[in-house]
Amino acid sequence: MNALDIVKPAKLHITAFQDSAFTRPVRPAPNKLTAAYNPESLSIKQDNTYETKQGASTGGAKARYYASNSRQLSVTLSFVGVDFGPYGLNAPIAKPLDVGQQLDLFQRLCQTINSETHEPSYLRLNWDKGGLRSTFEARLKSYDISYGCVDRGGEVLLADLTATFVEAVHPTKQRARQRLSSPDLSHRHLVLAGETLPMLCLRYYGSAAPYLQVAAFNQLDDIRVLTPGQELLFPPLAAPGGSV
């Protein structure tokens, strides 16, 4: 049996806004694009910047921490110009979809400079994976289009678009994050798909051991499964002897 007969493609939704607060939709409508995507192609990357200068008479740079860079999300979207129906290749071929129009919509929402703001749009990405929904607010960094099939009339029937988005955080949210990241306050974290409680404890405490304490603090019913978009608090933990 062909894979297209049984596999329902995952969907990624891109909604475009004119402002960083995500309150003013891009005009004219539509301001939203839905496309199939390859779940295996979706990845989120975060890296840090360190000082690279090397002191005199030393064997290497100290790699002193400088800043955490914005997260980047990469994903491959698929635009197919033939509708095979709900049962794949065994179903009658329906009216072709217009791949060119979908690509034009992507470029208008993600790349085109808005006349009112003189900047590209702010984008809210939503996707489902394994029945769970995740959200990523960002702006487009780059994209590549690969054309896989063209009909006799020159109409595009298949195109893959690989895009990279840079996370865009509103200044108000950024200030709140900075306050919540202070050493004397609890850390607030929005769960991403695939993250586990021991993994997050290792990030914030340097050890996975406190995961039961964190679970109790957040009143979690199930410590094995975290829901993307779920908010968790990682409080200062008392060290032996009662100090924090």
Q: pLDDT at position 30, please? A: 92
Q: Which CATH number fits domain 182-234: 3.10.350.10, 3.40.309.10, 2.60.120.680, 3.90.226.10?
A: 3.10.350.10
What value does the mean pLDDT of the chain take?
Answer: 79
Q: pLDDT at position 2, please? A: 37
Asked whether the beta carbons of 26 and 122 are under 8 A apart, the reply is: no
Q: pLDDT at position 8, please? A: 56
Q: What is the pLDDT of residues 159-170, one digit of tens each?
A: 999 999 999 876
Bridge-based pairing state of the strands 122-129 and 132-150: antiparallel
**What would the mean pLDDT of 63-79 be, rounded to a whole number?**
83
Q: pLDDT at position 162, please? A: 96
Whether 52 shows a pLDDT value over 60: the answer reads: yes
How many C-beta atoms lie closer than 10 Å to residue 243's C-beta? 7
For the domain 3-169, what is the CATH code?
A: 4.10.410
Q: Residue 184 — pLDDT band, cuts 50, 70, 90? A: very low
Whether 21 shows a pLDDT value over 90: the answer reads: no
How many C-beta atoms lie closer than 10 Å to residue 1's C-beta? 8
| Pair of tokens at residue 150 | 């063209």
d(CA 95, CA 84): 9
Cis status of the peptide bond prior to 183, with omega within 30 of 0: no
Domain ranges of the chain: 3-169, 182-234
Q: pLDDT at position 210, please? A: 87
**pTM of the entire predicted model:** 0.63
